[in-house]
A and B are shown apart, each in its own frame.
Chain A
């Protein structure tokens, strides 16, 4: 553990405040911290990490968009450092299964999902867990066969079921299993033993997300190695265990990089004076907590209107919000992520979040990244 550099600065003053700990906020904070900025990350909740697994679709984006390559590379590297490495890249497209038995077309996905693409002549076992109401391997296998057929892929999907011990007075649940995977070596061994006979006859096992909320490459690749079989872990209904794992890992990575977290208190208001954002007031007990900074990135999601006075806004070419007349709301204010979403479609949302998050973080760090709105 390296000793933290103590800088003689005003308390609660930072180079950059990032508001929002979703994919965009995390990426922008990481980008800026990577450029040496002292970053505060203010958030309530983990954004969409609780819903999915962070897979990135880029088909709808203009591949030639400046910085898209750089942003994706940065994000991949960040996840690697966090122990939840993403695989893939802009030029790639893989079909990853979903719990509806359909396929998601993604360009980047975490390593514990990346193997999910149906390969020719592969024997795939879809493994359910007895008593788990949120995942039925027969249903998923049958639908995957159908959808794989539409794609012209030749994989065989067979449904299997394992039984795992559950705590007394409980029913099987992904959150329970995920927590026990983290805390209980005997549970991990039990899971491995249960999967072993299935792994012996399959090249890939598709299973519901239960492989821990704090785990990383070591634990999951370790399991794959033990089994001699690849795993594709699917996020089930919220809370998505793989999604929360990614969030926890990224958060830990950012803490190690010196990002200061202020978790659990909404922003009361942005302090903007003379078109310059001075900081934020957080809605904390007894008195608002004032955080000041040289710049601010708003990555607070699609329902952030209140923070900008409920006026509709656009962003200029370097991600800074402008009002209806086209004037900058504040010269040191940036926006990233779903807050920029113009339609109700969430397709490609993670890609947009990573791109704009990275770009905003670099712009705030004065790193002259080129960004043009897609």
Chain B
């Protein structure tokens, strides 16, 4: 029997998933994961027409899966419904683009100055609102020509080979962050390369385009398999990319046995950056040559939903605690509500902000100097909702080392 058949049969209708769902909590009209997932799935198999616009409102945060006591793969059942969901023409066209951040990134980094300027213009945003239902409330992240390259062989130290999968955001919007990742890896005994990669496919799935996600998965698997089979580990600094490589590639490619096996090998060798550093720490190889603290810094950590869904504990939270002068609180205040492209959509914007309101309140109550989170869109949402600066943990850690720090 297919794995998801077993998963469907496991549901005991306890409603734990509904209790954990951030959209249910913020938006009472949302039918909830229990209904959109296992309940309607039985109906779909009966041949009953079940399509509803509500499936678009699923954040894809996986909190339902984590809350379920019975191993029902709730979010996957909803994702499958998303794949056959019929959208309005505007949403269809808009979401086609949102499903392809790699393509968008390539186009917008041809002349990033022009693109950034245009995306900041009010009339342009109003047009985008009218014709694409992209909310003018949001600021688009700046695009930047990629300066992210594998460090040259001459400067690369000896060290374990790792392949850094940057993801679209780092590639096209935050290439310096990508460079920092490489530096951090080098400082901790690794010899990093930058993967030749396209989009991991999460936005494709989220926007109801599994065929595009499948293409992304195949392309990435084929480009990374050789390195993995040669013993290299893959490292991600974006939790959504990490989540997708660990869980999604295999699902997308299950129709092709060979590719699925390759995807499995890649998943087994993929590590979140913090996960990797913690493993180094266990072997006594973590670089702790921190500069002494000039003053105490009050920080607050927000674990992205796709980090929680990887089941790796709280490695960034634990690592950063070791930096002198750092005082860090784990906000644990729910989903930020951005969910990648979701928060840009005009019809989803109010839900996005309502979902994040609990986190915003938690941040205000904590009053930190900065919020630390490894997801780029969480960063965007936090800055948009609170005005507090949001920083990737890589930057906190990297800046903590004293000059000349070496393993």
Please say whether the chains A and B touch (CB closer than 8 A): yes
A contact residues vs B (CB 8 Å cutoff)? 1, 3-4, 6, 10-12, 44-47, 50-51, 166-170, 173, 175-176, 179-180, 183, 213, 238-239, 244, 255, 260, 262-266, 282, 284-287, 289
From 312 to 370 in chain B, residues with beta carbon under 8 angstroms from any chain A beta carbon are 312-315, 318, 321-322, 327, 329-330, 332, 357-358, 366
Partner of A167, one of B16, B29, B310, B332: B29
Complex contact A176–B267 (CB within 8 A): no
B89 CB–A CB distance under 8 Å: no
Complex contact A239–B18 (CB within 8 A): yes
Complex contact B329–A6 (CB within 8 A): no
Q: What sequence of 0s and 1s flags, for each residue 109-129 of chain B, a beta carbon within 8 Å of any chain A beta carbon?
A: 000000000000000000000
Compute how far the CA of A166 lies from the CA of B29 in the bound complex, rounded to whole angstroms: 10
Complex contact B14–A239 (CB within 8 A): yes
From 297 to 314 in chain B, residues with beta carbon under 8 angstroms from any chain A beta carbon are 308-314
How many B residues are at the interface, by size bracket?
35 or more
Complex contact A3–B29 (CB within 8 A): no
B227 to nearest A CB, angstroms?
16
Among the interface residues B246, B267, B311, which one has the most CB atoms of the partner chain A within 10 A?
A: B311
B173 CB–A CB distance under 8 Å: no
Contacts of A6 on B, CB cut-off 8 Å?
Answer: 321-322
From B278, which residue of chain A is reached at the shortest CB distance?
Answer: A11
Complex contact A1–B329 (CB within 8 A): yes
Complex contact A285–B246 (CB within 8 A): yes
Compute how far the CA of A18 lies from the CA of B311 in the bound complex, rounded to whole angstroms: 17
Given A167-B28, A264-B65, does the pair A11, B318 have CB atoms closer than 8 Å? Answer: yes
Partner of B311, one of A45, A170, A176, A262: A262
Contacts of B278 on A, CB cut-off 8 Å?
Answer: 11
Contacts of B15 on A, CB cut-off 8 Å?
Answer: 50, 175, 238-239
Stretch touching chain A among B67-75, B162-170, B181-189, B373-381: B67-75
Contacts of A289 on B, CB cut-off 8 Å?
Answer: 311-313
B contact residues vs A (CB 8 Å cutoff)? 13-16, 18-19, 24-29, 65-71, 243, 245-247, 267-268, 270, 278-279, 281-282, 308-315, 318, 321-322, 327, 329-330, 332, 357-358, 366
Complex contact B29–A170 (CB within 8 A): yes
Complex contact B14–A180 (CB within 8 A): no
Partner of A1, one of B243, B313, B366: B366
Complex contact A50–B16 (CB within 8 A): yes
Compute how far the CA of A287 lies from the CA of B247 in the bound complex, rounded to whole angstroms: 10
Contacts of B16 on A, CB cut-off 8 Å?
Answer: 45-46, 50, 239
Contacts of B27 on A, CB cut-off 8 Å?
Answer: 167
From B66, which residue of chain A is reached at the shortest CB distance?
Answer: A264
Contacts of A183 on B, CB cut-off 8 Å?
Answer: 25-26, 357-358
Compute how far the CA of A62 lies from the CA of B5 in the bound complex, rounded to whole angstroms: 46
From A49, which residue of chain B is reached at the shortest CB distance?
Answer: B16
Given A169-B29, A239-B15, A286-B267, does the pair A45, B68 have CB atoms closer than 8 Å? Answer: yes
Complex contact B68–A44 (CB within 8 A): yes
Given A11-B282, A170-B29, does the pair A286, B357 have CB atoms closer than 8 Å? Answer: no
Contacts of B13 on A, CB cut-off 8 Å?
Answer: 238
Contacts of B327 on A, CB cut-off 8 Å?
Answer: 1, 3
From A300, which residue of chain B is reached at the shortest CB distance?
Answer: B69
Compute how far the CA of A366 lies from the CA of B322 in the bound complex, rounded to whole angstroms: 30
Contacts of A166 on B, CB cut-off 8 Å?
Answer: 28
Contacts of B26 on A, CB cut-off 8 Å?
Answer: 179, 183
17 additional contacts, CB 8 Å, given A170-B28, A260-B314, A286-B246?
A: A3-B327, A11-B313, A11-B318, A45-B14, A50-B14, A50-B16, A168-B29, A175-B24, A239-B16, A239-B19, A263-B66, A263-B308, A264-B309, A266-B71, A285-B310, A287-B267, A289-B313
